Amino acid sequence: MARIQDGGLDNDTLQHLRSRATQLLLKEDWREYVAVCSHIIDAAASVDDRRVLCSALAHRADARARLGDASAGLADCDAAIAVEPAHPGALLSKGALLRGLGRYAAAADCFRAAALASGGGGAAVAEARQLAEQCRRLEAQARSGAVDLSEWVLAGFSGKFPDLAEYVGCVEVRRSPHGGRGVFAVKNVEAGTTLIIAKAVAIGRGVIPDASGSDEKMFVWKDFVGKVLEAAEKCPKTAALIYTLSTGQERQDELAVPDMAMFRKETEDDSLSDGTTAGKTTRTQEAVQMDRILKVLDVTCLTEDAPAADVLGNNGVVNCGVGLWVLPSFINHSCHPNARRTHIGDHAIVHASRDIKAGEEITFPYFDVLVPVSKRREASRAWGFECKCDRCRFEAEDSILGHEILKLENYLLSGGDIGAVVMQLEEKMRKSMVKERQKAFLRASFWSAYSALYDSDKLMKKWGRRIPSEALVAESVADAVGGNECVLRATLRGSRDGNGCGNRLEVEDKVVRIGRATYGKLVKRHAMRDLFRLTLDAANKFNL
């Protein structure tokens, strides 16, 4: 915040108010801080002390933004600018408020004006110009969904998280043929295309050394629920968005299909990107429906425990994270998904993990899908639904093949020879003339066996000549699950070892394709190799 300058006010009074404001600032008591600023503003206006008046208005604008009252903050900024059009503090405050509202072009104009108003050079001017450039990039991203994290990747994911703007691509919420609602593509998209960039309403995170630490997990959950309720209380629009989600108790045909305009940032939208609101309705809005929100959270939260969260979002620090991203919460589960999400900071980026046709429903996995159908059924029941995707139907409905799969699964669980399990499965698929797509499904279901086999030099010496190459199987499994870090590592290793993968260009194309399926178009092609190296280093096994 800019310092309040001496002016026509009584120096003792002004010094007392400054001291009081400093104390409140340290305590982050924003309501009282607003009251002190208001007193200074009234006194400055009465003696026409424009310098103190403008500075105090800029101060109050910042504090009101903290309280979620952005419209009042913008009004303070405009009042200061009306008195002194080139007031740097007011221009910076207005730029920050507009950036929070997602109005990046207008924010950039304010920051550029602040840089000009400051004159000369110095750190303040450089910062204002940097903020203007940041808003220019965010404006372009909000319109296109294009995200380039190449520099961050090349730096080893170190430093602060990259700035991201919310984005809604060519998707819309519709009635799902499987019941309820889902998110559908409105036009053809290719693998790697960004579909949604959403900022969380709230996130709860914690470091839990023991996976069974229920007390720690309960603390994370309570903290998370408190943040969601606070966001809903501050912002009526946030509450309205949460109410569009299912509580898990409605009939499927009772669920309304929300207007997509609710999820898009409009030019004059008064909802702050941090979940607060620009409106003055905080004290007069209807009471938050706490029971309804708690039921929504029980069935629609997404976890950050995917490998991508550690690699791309948390730098290995957070191992327990749960959050609420409204639009991504409408995306249904499939064990044969066509989309994938990556967590970066408080944002979730959803991208196509394979080519998607117009009108096709977008799905991503809610849980580990590289396990047999029996395990996936248990996981889906824990989520309160039964998966009826084409992969699950194939594995469950073919009684002869299903019986053989169950035998292999039981043999594997009993500690049988992993190589024998893989060999028998491959032999059974060959004799049954199983289609390539169905082979991909079954290999994905027994991925743990394939992976353990390829990891063992001893087993590979015994069975290696009788089973497909690691790169071939990894590519097949990627077709089934649409991209996965462990499958990508296997592809890289198999490609590095050769194994009849083709020439160098063919190998690179395969690796890049699976890399795009796994991470989307987050990095340029020249940085993809570094991303692969980091992926392999994360396993402490290999280097390209």
- Structural domain tally of the chain? 3
- Mark whether 280 and 225 lie in a shared domain: yes
Q: Is residue 126 domain-resident?
A: yes
Q: Is residue 154 domain-resident?
A: no
- Mark whether 231 and 378 lie in a shared domain: no
- Mark whether 205 and 297 lie in a shared domain: yes
DSSP character string of 201-263:
SEEEEE--SSTT-HHHHHHHHHHHHHHHHHHHHH-HHHHHHHHTS--S-S-GGG-----GGGG
**Taking Cα atoms as reference points, which of 183, 275, 177, 170 lies closest to residue 231?**
275
Q: And the tokens for 128?
A: 């204002």
pLDDT in tens, 328-363: 999 999 999 999 988 888 899 999 999 999 999 999
Calpha distance 230→245 (Å, rounded) = 18
Share of the chain above pLDDT 70, in %: 82
- Mark whether 99 and 184 lie in a shared domain: no
Burial letters 432-444, b for 16+ CB under 10 A, else e: eebeeebbbbbbb
Calpha distance 17→37 (Å, rounded) = 8
Per-residue pLDDT, 524:
77
- Mark whether 339 and 447 lie in a shared domain: no
DSSP character string of 308-331:
HIIIIIITT---EEEEE-TGGGGP
- Alpha-carbon distances of 288 from 121, 237, 293, 322, 408, rounded to whole Å: 48, 11, 8, 21, 52
Question: Are β-strands 194-199 and 347-352 bridged in parallel, bridged antiparallel, or unpaired?
Answer: antiparallel
The CATH number that applies at residue 32 is 1.25.40.10
pLDDT at 426 over 60: yes
pLDDT in tens, 401-414: 777 777 888 887 77
pLDDT at 14 over 60: yes
Calpha distance 533→526 (Å, rounded) = 13
pLDDT at 245 over 90: yes
> Which ranges in 433-519 belong to alpha helices (H)?
436-445, 447-455, 457-463, 470-481, 485-496, 504-519
Per-residue pLDDT, 495:
63
The CATH number that applies at residue 336 is 2.170.270.10
pLDDT in tens, 507-539: 677 778 888 888 888 877 777 766 666 555 555
Per-residue pLDDT, 400:
66
Residue 121: domain span: 4-144
Chosen domain end from 364, 398, 416:
364
- Mark whether 183 and 330 lie in a shared domain: yes
pLDDT at 9 over 80: no
- Alpha-carbon distances of 128 from 85, 159, 483, rounded to whole Å: 16, 21, 41
End-to-end CA distance of the chain: 49
pLDDT at 5 over 70: no
- Mark whether 62 and 172 lie in a shared domain: no
Question: Edge-to-edge, what's the strand order for the sheet holding 361-362?
Answer: 171-175, 181-185, 361-362
Q: Is residue 191 domain-resident?
A: yes
Q: Any residues with CB less than 8 A from the CB of 489 and at least 6 apart, and which?
A: 535, 536, 539, 541, 542
Span of 67-76, 281-290, 337-346, 460-469 with lowest mean pLDDT: 281-290
- Mark whether 136 and 193 lie in a shared domain: no
**Taking Cα atoms as reference points, which of 135, 191, 170 lies closest to residue 517?**
191
Which residues make beta-bridge pairs with 381? none
The per-residue pLDDT of the chain, averaged, comes to 82
Q: Is residue 160 domain-resident?
A: no
Q: Is residue 54 domain-resident?
A: yes
**Within its chain, how far is the Cα of 489 from the centroid?**
23
Burial letters 56-80, b for 16+ CB under 10 A, else e: bbbbbbbbbbebbbbbbbbbbbebb
| Residue 257's pLDDT band (cuts 50, 70, 90) | very high
- Mark whether 410 and 519 lie in a shared domain: yes
Per-residue pLDDT, 90:
95
pTM of the model: 0.83
Q: Is residue 158 domain-resident?
A: no
Please work out, in degrees rounded to the nearest 5, the angle formed at the alpha carbon of residue 102 by the alpha carbons of 98 and 108.
55
